A and B are shown apart, each in its own frame.
Chain A
């Protein structure tokens, strides 16, 4: 199996480098045609035109565009994204500080989306052909049509304001300080043996993760239901039934295992969209991740951050897609046969 997966990862890596180069070029070009002058932005409003011109030369903005791109790219290859215009700090340190929070949020949200999607898909499959089917259909369409930020506001009103059951700002209660470590708060809290911090972090993640998870679950539900309907037409299901296997065993051991594959592919694609969807949810829940940083960057026309965050999104999505494709290969023996 490893012999099959390694070449795939190798091909993916080569492809990823190409994709990253294209994305970096697009990011660079798009941001450089915007009517924004990074030199002017990096100086206080009281700066003179001479100050700005000096800064333009210092930043290399007077050079031809291809040369500027190559200089920028060579810095990026050496992990130097420059300094933020707004924060006047290394962009890499800012992205490094915020990326783990967003990955943690996105992964937990995806787990919730998968759990809700699979349970919902099973329910929809269960009620197919019955009088409950239109209701289940309607429910899934309604879920599909509500975006994540509306769920976020809805949850804040219900669980935050009305019931006052869950916190909805930040990552931790005010009495706690972030434990040193990887930036993945749940992991760091456990590694430090601080269950109180773990619990506080977990509570802070419930509402943002459910907002994202619920918004992304209906597509999984619908694909799983369709896959199950297809799988139940296969001969091996009929044979299993003739062998006297229980419906539960048929579902879990035979049908679900095969029907889950298209769902897995979909989840791979959805993770990229969900990762982008963290942007608004992070702002609403004051969650200090990459999305929140990006919103600041856009507001302040902080081009170095926008470029770095754009690339960071791209890298994460490429990694996840490679992982999902490898998983697909592991779970589907047919693909391993040439």
Chain B
């Protein structure tokens, strides 16, 4: 005997499940692109709104809208005036005289003066707050305020890259009176800057909404309201731009850029930037032998990596510097030559049947196709007689592993240098006194270290070029590719491209 529920009963119950379907009738989402508003799908949130507190590179394009730096960079990365109208570095590198603009006001209406400059780069560094800029400006001995628009920075040791750092991570002028009045915490909650936009709404891990500062001292941006939607998942960013929920997004997979480029309303771009992808090498363990290091370099077909993983847009590198920047060596090439690699390995008694064994670290998901690149390199090495065991490392643990001497023999690494200065490329990556360098041999390290105090610009650049070439030929580093930033945007939305990958909303316009 079966005991069936009446069909009518069942249908009535099912009906409950679809009650409310009617409510969707008016829920079609309209995503109109307004002429004065733009929504940006951004891959990560700011860690906080105190720009001196954090060095996070991804947050800089947001900070640059609300705050201003003393100096900034043109799209071709040339250092140009900003809040500082004129500057002069002393020949001995021990002081920098800054002439500030006299027409700049903060969002609260107060005038920006040299006191704010002194507060940001000297007084604030003495606070108990763990500000990242304490580290970049630790050479500042004092800042002498000569007038409301003139200040002189005095350094305890020559600081030739001080102008570059005035346009780099964390160096944003903050209002002394406001910060002292409300305190550090309240300042981070309701930031006041001199930038082209004011922060009007911030929702942790969700969005930042900025509105144009109509009293901005510089060129008035075309876009009145900018919304950064924090979308961490690359597939969701692709879907968001495709559906029109955002107008522009970055760091989507290369294959998606190619696919979305066929959409008549969208434009996909793969832009090379001042970021290098390289192998950070140790000078001991499996990589103690120079022949093995050089063989490992000769065995890598960088053009093939670029074609396979970046649609050919990433330029193969021979030195750890991006093309077109001051330290670049366009005429120097380190050849892809598997036969040379085999010969070098044979000199040290290795072959495909008796391979050299090394450990190889790679991040997975830190930059596009990182782990896939590592696997491809592993295969290339295998063909010449290097047996690499890949281990995944977290990017955030790189420094700690390096400090503890626990990095693998080779580590696939991505290095961002918005300034494009060679000190912040080779100097930071290969000077053993810096926490980034895995190669501790003084023969290489000292060459870079000596240049940190070189105050003559031309000699400094020439020195870096020579040191980079030496480091590569010595097997201290294996530069791979110039990295790219992927951008997908609505066709009607344009923006100014910067060589360091900044996507700045104040340069955007519709039409």
Contacts and interface: CB of A to CB of B under 8 A. Distances in A.
Interface of A: 35-37, 40-49, 52, 86-89, 94, 97-98, 115-116, 119, 122-123, 125-126, 129, 153, 156-157, 160-161, 164-171, 174, 177-178, 203, 232, 237, 241, 246-248, 250-251, 283-288, 292-293, 295-296, 299-301
Q: From A45, A203, A287, name the one whose CB has the most chain B CB atoms within 10 angstroms.
A: A45
A300 B55 CA distance: 14
B77 to A, nearest CB: 21
Nearest to A84: B47
B254 to A, nearest CB: 19
B239 A247 contact: no
B304 interface: no
Interface residues of B, number: 64
B204 interface: yes
Interface stretch (B24-32, B146-154, B482-490): B24-32
A194 to B, nearest CB: 15
A45 B245 contact: no
Contacts of B230: 170, 286, 288
B203 A178 contact: yes
Q: From B2, B29, B209, B394, name the one whose CB has the most chain A CB atoms within 10 angstroms.
A: B29
Contacts of A52: 403
A153 B233 CA distance: 11
Nearest to B18: A119
B48 A89 contact: yes
Contacts of A164: 28-29, 31, 243-244
A44 B205 contact: no
24 contacts: A37-B400, A43-B135, A45-B55, A52-B403, A87-B48, A88-B48, A89-B48, A94-B204, A115-B17, A119-B17, A122-B10, A157-B239, A161-B243, A165-B28, A166-B29, A167-B245, A170-B207, A171-B203, A174-B209, A232-B3, A285-B236, A288-B230, A293-B205, A296-B205
A119 B16 contact: yes
Contact of B205 (A165, A246, A292): A292
B183 to A, nearest CB: 14
Q: Which 6 A-B pairs have the closest CB atoms?
A: A288-B206, A288-B205, A248-B9, A44-B132, A46-B135, A174-B227
B55 A88 contact: no
B317 to A, nearest CB: 22
Contact of A160 (B41, B232, B243): B243
A286 B231 contact: yes
A43 B16 contact: no
Nearest to A119: B17
Nearest to B54: A88
B399 A98 contact: no
A214 B339 CA distance: 57
B401 interface: yes
A52 to B, nearest CB: 7
A177 B227 CA distance: 12
Contacts of B157: none
Given A160-B239, A299-B396, A46 B207 contact: no
A298 B408 CA distance: 22
B53 interface: yes
A97 B48 CA distance: 14
A46 B233 contact: no
Q: From A52, A153, A161, A203, name the one whose CB has the most chain B CB atoms within 10 angstroms.
A: A161
Contacts of B239: 156-157, 160-161, 168
Contact of B435 (A46, A174, A251): A46
A14 to B, nearest CB: 35
B2 A129 contact: yes
A175 B53 CA distance: 29
B6 A86 contact: no
Interface in B200-234: 201, 203-207, 209, 227, 229-233
Given A119-B14, A161-B242, A169-B240, A126 B135 contact: no
A45 B233 contact: no
A290 to B, nearest CB: 10
Interface string B35-56: 0000101000101100001110
B185 to A, nearest CB: 8
Contacts of A168: 236, 239-240, 243, 245
B235 interface: yes
Nearest to B244: A164
